[in-house]
C-alpha cells in the first residue's frame, strides 16, 4: 500500500549532514497520490505538556509502542504533497534552517520526491507556526513557490500578524512569530483564507480544527470511498496524546478548544475508520485510530 524511496535514517542526535537523503513515502487515495516528506525529528521535554503526569506518560508510551526514557519524547516533523488532476498541493512546508538538530530536510525531501517548486499550485497550510512554514522562502527571503496560492484557515493570518498577540508573547515566541511572518510575507498578495469545510482542488478540502491556532485546519483527501485526513497539529507527541487526548501543549492558542477538537475528532476518526496522518505523527504516519484500554492507539499501515 505504501511506496518508499530513500534509505536515510537518523537518531535523536542526527543532523542534516548525516543524511544522504530524507525519507519519502507515497500512498494512493483512489486516483489521488499523496506523498509524505520527512523534514526531521526533534525532542521535547515534559513541561511542553501542561497536563503531564509521569506515570500516565509511561503507560501511554508503552501502549503506543514508543520508547520513552522519562526525560524527552520524540516529535516528528512532516509535510505532504498531494497530486490531484492538474493540481499539486503542498500541505505545510517543514521547519526553517537552524530550527533544531535533526530537522530542516524539507527541501531535500521535496526534491527526492521529484516535485519541482514551480509545479506546486496550492500551499495548504494547516496553520502558520514556524515548523510548518519554514520551507516557503529561500535564504534571501524570496518565495520558493512562485506559482502557488497560499491558503490558510480563517483567523490565522490575523493571529500571526497581531500586535496584541506579539506583545503578550515571550522572547522565544516572538522569534518564532518573526520567522513565520517573514516566511509568509512574499505570498501576501496571492493568499486566501477559508472558513468551514472548503474544497481547494479536486478531492482536496480544508477542514477547520480550531484551538491550536484560531485557523488551524486539517486537509481531507477523498476519491470515491477512499479517504485520508491530514489532521494538522491535532497531536504533537504520538507517545502521549493518542492515549491521553486531554493533554494539550503550551503553545495551543486555546488549550480548552484544542482539547475539545482533539477529543471530538478522535471519536469520529475511530468510529468511521478514517485513515489519518499528520505533521507530527511518526513518519510516514499513514494510520488508523482504534480505541484502546487507555484512550486510543494509532495502527500504522505497512
The mean-pLDDT minimum among 51-65, 94-108, 122-136, 148-162 falls in 94-108
The mean-pLDDT minimum among 6-15, 103-112, 152-161 falls in 6-15
Beta strand 24-29 pairing with 287-291: unpaired
**The pLDDT of residue 5 is above 90:** no
| Cα 149 from Cα 8, distance rounded (Å) | 31
Q: Where are the domains of the chain?
A: 2-300
pLDDT of residue 277: 98
Q: How confident is the model at residue 142 (pLDDT cuts 50, 70, 90)?
A: very high
For the chain, the average pLDDT equals 92
| Cα 299 from Cα 292, distance rounded (Å) | 11
pLDDT of residue 110: 97
* Residue 36, strand partner residues: 25, 80
2-300 homologous superfamily = Ribonuclease Z/Hydroxyacylglutathione hydrolase-like (3.60.15.10)
pLDDT of residue 17: 38
pLDDT tens, residue by residue, 177-209? 999 999 999 999 999 999 999 999 999 999 999
Average pLDDT on 142-155 reads 98
Average pLDDT on 34-38 reads 98
Average pLDDT on 36-56 reads 96
pLDDT of residue 101: 83
How many other CB atoms are there within 10 angstroms of residue 16's CB atom?
15
Average pLDDT on 143-158 reads 98
Average pLDDT on 196-223 reads 98
**The pLDDT of residue 21 is above 70:** no
How many other CB atoms are there within 10 angstroms of residue 38's CB atom?
29
The mean-pLDDT minimum among 11-20, 181-190, 274-283, 286-295 falls in 11-20
Average pLDDT on 86-92 reads 98
pLDDT of residue 134: 97
pLDDT of residue 285: 96
CA distances from 49 to 34, 41, 236 (A): 31, 18, 10
pTM (two decimals): 0.92
pLDDT of residue 260: 98
CA distances from 243 to 42, 44, 52, 178 (A): 21, 18, 12, 34
| Cα 12 from Cα 128, distance rounded (Å) | 25
Share of the chain above pLDDT 70, in %: 92
**The pLDDT of residue 127 is above 50:** yes
pLDDT of residue 9: 22
**The pLDDT of residue 53 is above 80:** yes
pLDDT tens, residue by residue, 90-107? 999 999 988 988 899 999
Q: Which residues contact 181 (CB under 8 A, 6 or more apart)?
A: 160, 161
**The pLDDT of residue 10 is above 70:** no
User: Higher model confidence: residue 14 or residue 50?
Assistant: 50
Amino acid at each position: 500500500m505504501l511506496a518508499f524511496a530513500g534509505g536515510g535514517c537518523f537518531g535523536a542526535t542526527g543532523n542534516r549532514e548525516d543524511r544522504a537523503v530524507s525519507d519519502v513515502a507515497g500512498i494512493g487515495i483512489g486516483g489521488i497520490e499523496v506523498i509524505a516528506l520527512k523534514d526531521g525529528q526533534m525532542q521535547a521535554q515534559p513541561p511542553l505538556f501542561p497536563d503531564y503526569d509521569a506515570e500516565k506518560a509511561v503507560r501511554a508510551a508503552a501502549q503506543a509502542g514508543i520508547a520513552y526514557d522519562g526525560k524527552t519524547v520524540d516529535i516528528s516533523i512532516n509535510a505532504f504533497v498531494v497530486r490531484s488532476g492538474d493540481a499539486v498541493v503542498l500541505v505545510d512546508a517543514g521547519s526553517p534552517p537552524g530550527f533544531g538538530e535533526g530537522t530542516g530536510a524539507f527541501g531535500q525531501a521535496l526534491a527526492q520526491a521529484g516535485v519541482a517548486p514551480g509545479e506546486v499550485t496550492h500551499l495548504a497550510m494547516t496553520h502558520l507556526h514556524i515548523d510548518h512554514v519554514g520551507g516557503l522562502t529561500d535564504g534571501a527571503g524570496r518565495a520558493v513557490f512562485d506559482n502557488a496560492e497560499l491558503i490558510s484557515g480563517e483567523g490565522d493570518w490575523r493571529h500571526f500578524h497581531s500586535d496584541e498577540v506579539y506583545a503578550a508573547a515571550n522572547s522565544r515566541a516572538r522569534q518564532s512569530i518573526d520567522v513565520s511572518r517573514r516566511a509568509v510575507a512574499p505570498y501576501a498578495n496571492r493568499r486566501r483564507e477559508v472558513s468551514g469545510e472548503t474544497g481547494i482542488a479536486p478531492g482536496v478540502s480544508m477542514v477547520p480544527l480550531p484551538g491550536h491556532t484560531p485557523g488551524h485546519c486539517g486537509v481531507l483527501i477523498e476519491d470515491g470511498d477512499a479517504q485520508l485526513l491530514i489532521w494538522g497539529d491535532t497531536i504533537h507527541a504520538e507517545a502521549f496524546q493518542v492515549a491521553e487526548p486531554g493533554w494539550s501543549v503550551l503553545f495551543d492558542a486555546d488549550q480548552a478548544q484544542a482539547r475539545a477538537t482533539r477529543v471530538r475528532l478522535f471519536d469520529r476518526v475511530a468510529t468511521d475508520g478514517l485513515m489519518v496522518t499528520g505533521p507530527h505523527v511518526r513518519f510516514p504516519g499513514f494510520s488508523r485510530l482504534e480505541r484502546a484500554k487507555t484512550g486510543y492507539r494509532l495502527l500504522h499501515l505497512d
